Amino acid sequence: MKLLTVLAPLGLSAGVAGAETLTVTQQQVSDEKAVFATVESISVVPARVRIGGTVVQLGVREGDAVTRGQKIASVGDDKLVLQMKSLDAQIEALQAQANQAQIDFTRIEGLVERGTLPRVKLDEARTALNVADNSLRARIAERAVVNQQLSEGQVLAPSDGRVLKRLVTVGSVVLPGDPIVTVAQQDFKLRLRVPERHARFLKSGDKVRVDGAELGQASSRSGTIDLIYPQIEEGRVIADARVQGLGEYFVGDRLRVWVSGGSRPAFVIPASYVKTRFGIDYVQLVQAGRTIDVPVQRGRELSLPSLPDGLEILSGIRAGDQLVRP
């Protein structure tokens, strides 16, 4: 019995001497606050019609994905078709006049060279030929303008994205500049609304965290604040954050986001230094050359640059304590 009594303390001391120890110190950690944010598109742009007329074709509906330059709708104008037919008839008439002027010029040029007619007749024929040619080119240019207006009846998608709302139906009468559909660009962002009392803690580059449950995923996602709007609306500061994997369909979805609300001192230790028995968390503390189990209250998990697997301890330890890895 005496031999066992002597060896037990010696064994404890040897275990502490060879074990890995950690000195508890306070660290400044970010105090996270939960705020609500909505999923917004980088920009929502309307697809507008360029001419007036009647919508004769509409090929998209809400939720459809579109690419830049894709045909969305067609607008027809009967007046443009009538103008095109009128210009075609005028071009044919002017073409005949130009051909006749060319024939007259060639005949008069031969007669002038033989001395039958004076040279003034040649100048008159040349002038008539130039007038006919210029009139023909003017009508061809007018026809090109009308043809361009007809082609502008096609409404094209202004950017890659998804159709949010269809504003007209087939048969609707539209004017130049009227929107046909609104398209949300596919690059989504989070728009945060933070209470103004936390405004002084926000800055561009701060990290934000979205729980995986909010996105229907197993793991959390982090992002970065890239823009803080200078105007406070209804007691809230508006900020935009970029987070990967926000989804590709719903715009306006409300999510709970964790943002920095300032910093505070805290005790953060590696999670491997905490062991749990019967639902109670313990750490092994070195006191007088011996290790004792001390119950602690765990907080949230923290990933610090120097401590990726950090765990905040709310109570049970203090600065300067020596901990032993179990």
Tokens 């119950």 correspond to what residue? 295
* Region 249-278 average pLDDT: 82
The verdict on residue 64 lying in a domain is yes
pLDDT at residue 12 in the model: 33
How does pLDDT run across 27-55, given as a tens digit for each residue? 888 777 788 888 887 778 899 998 888 88
The domain in which residue 64 lies consists of 47-76+153-184
**Sorting pLDDT into bands at 50, 70 and 90, what band is 245?**
low
The rounded radius of gyration (Å) of the Cα atoms in the chain is 40
Domain's final residue, options 241, 261, 281: 261
Would the pLDDT of 15 be above 50?
no
The residue ranking higher by pLDDT, 18 or 19, is: 19
pLDDT at residue 214 in the model: 60
Structure tokens at 160: 């890659």
How does pLDDT run across 167-195, given as a tens digit for each residue? 998 888 889 899 999 998 877 888 888 88
The verdict on residue 208 lying in a domain is yes
Q: What is the CATH number of the domain that holds 244?
A: 2.40.30.170
How does pLDDT run across 201-229, given as a tens digit for each residue? 777 888 888 876 666 665 667 788 888 88
Domain's final residue, options 96, 129, 150: 150
**Sorting pLDDT into bands at 50, 70 and 90, what band is 257?**
confident
pLDDT at residue 247 in the model: 60
Tokens 């006049």 correspond to what residue? 97
Q: What is the CATH number of the domain that holds 281?
A: 2.40.420.20
Would the pLDDT of 199 be above 80?
no
On whether both 100 and 228 belong to a single domain, the answer is no
What does pTM read for this prediction? 0.51
* Region 257-263 average pLDDT: 77
pLDDT at residue 146 in the model: 81
CA distance 162 to 62: 8
Would the pLDDT of 309 be above 80?
yes
**Sorting pLDDT into bands at 50, 70 and 90, what band is 295?**
very high
> In a 10 Å sphere around its CB, with 0-12 CB exposed, 13-18 middle and 19+ buried, how is residue 230 labelled?
exposed
Split into its structural domains, the chain has a count of 4
* Region 57-79 average pLDDT: 87
Domain's final residue, options 126, 150, 174: 150
On whether both 60 and 167 belong to a single domain, the answer is yes
Would the pLDDT of 20 be above 90?
no
pLDDT at residue 227 in the model: 86
3-state secondary structure the chain: CHHHHHHHHHHHHHHHHHCCEEECCEEEEEEEEEEEEEEEECCEEEEECCCCEEEEEECCCCCCEECCCCEEEEEECHHHHHHHHHHHHHHHHHHHHHHHHHHHHHHHHHHHHCCCCCHHHHHHHHHHHHHHHHHHHHHHHHHHHHHHHHHCCEEECCCCEEEEEECCCCCCEECCCCEEEEEEECCEEEEEEEEHHHHHHCCCCCEEEECHHHHCCCCCEEEEEEEEEEEEECCEEEEEEEECCCCCCCCCCEEEEEEEEEEEEEEEEEHHHCEEECCEEEEEEEECCEEEEEEEEEEEEEEECCEEEEEEEEECCCCCCEEECC
The verdict on residue 1 lying in a domain is no
On whether both 128 and 243 belong to a single domain, the answer is no
% of the chain surpassing 70 pLDDT:
90
The residue ranking higher by pLDDT, 15 or 73, is: 73
Would the pLDDT of 291 be above 80?
yes
pLDDT at residue 48 in the model: 92
The verdict on residue 9 lying in a domain is no
pLDDT at residue 99 in the model: 92
How does pLDDT run across 87-128, given as a tens digit for each residue? 889 999 999 999 999 998 888 888 888 878 888 888 888 898
